[in-house]
Amino acid sequence: MLPEHLVNRLRQALSRTRIKVDSVLDDPMQFRRPSLQRECPLCGFQGRFWTFGAPPRSEALCPRCLSLERHRLFHLLVDRYANSAIKDKRVLHFAPESCIRARLDRMSRYVTADLSGWDVDCQCAMESIPFPDNSLDAVIANHVLEHVDNDIDAMREVRRVLKPQGTAILSVPIVQGWDETYENPDIATAEMRRTHFGQEDHKRLYGRDFHDRLQQAGFAVEIFRADPEREIRFGLNRGDQFFVARPRPDRGRGQ
């Protein structure tokens, strides 16, 4: 048997290889098309970004660190909020992405969590976080809430474990043209979820009411976006956003 750290490195190497192979297979002509020279703020790469996703998004993937648009936007958010929300703080990160976890680990008291993932500190559902009330300074969940069974319960659970001055940093796929989130518990098969929600393990597709759902769970919400010049420079999705949510003092914990 190989040591666990070697097994994890092998898994990471295989995962990186699969992502790059999938990109080439999904869009074999991408390297023959003209492309803007992008810059990755995570690893410093400068050059062509690769195609990624289903359906494929051109110029989405950094070929060096494998960051996607939302990861690069998150990196800019950390630059803004590091001192107030993350630096030397106790941080819980759900579904930690390899391209950003190293930076968070260096700058905070960092704990990783996932429902079924390997190489995390805590295996748990977002609706049932095994930490006491008021025990965490920050909770990060980047494209996680669309996967959980009950997102309002998960939001309330995040609020429960946050300190009164804590911060939740959240992002989800949003259809900006929709007033309300689209979800239907009767849509349960992988094929139907892919058709209705865009991915086989998604439980919903959010509309503009995501902000309202956070408020319903007891948060005051601030929205973080990049300016147009940085969206182009770093290959971000136009208008993409993160929600920086802080517990409102006018609601009891867990309500």
- pLDDT for res 10: 79
For the segment 166-184, what is each residue's pLDDT rounded down to a tens digit?
999 999 999 999 999 999 9
CA atoms 209, 215, 67, 115: torsion sign: negative
**Position 253 pLDDT exceeds 60:** no
Specify the amino acid at residue 78.
Answer: V
| Mean pLDDT for the stretch of residues 92-113 | 95
Alpha carbons 179 and 215: distance in angstroms, whole number: 16
| Nearest to 152, CA basis, from 38, 254, 49, 244 | 254
Q: What is the pLDDT of residue 254?
A: 46
Q: What is the pLDDT of residues 203-220, one digit of tens each?
A: 999 999 999 999 999 999
Whether residue 209 contacts residue 200, with contact meaning beta carbons closer than 8 Å, is answered with no
pLDDT of residue 15: 83
Interatomic CA distance for residues 72 and 40, integer angstroms: 7
Single-letter code of the amino acid located at 108: S
Read off the pLDDT of residues 4-40 as tens digits, 9 standing for 90 and up: 667 677 777 888 889 999 999 999 999 999 888 999 9
Token digits of residue 140: 């990060």
Q: pTM for the whole thing?
A: 0.90
- Residues 124, 114: Cα–Cα separation, whole Å: 6
Q: Which residue has the higher pLDDT, 121 or 55?
A: 121
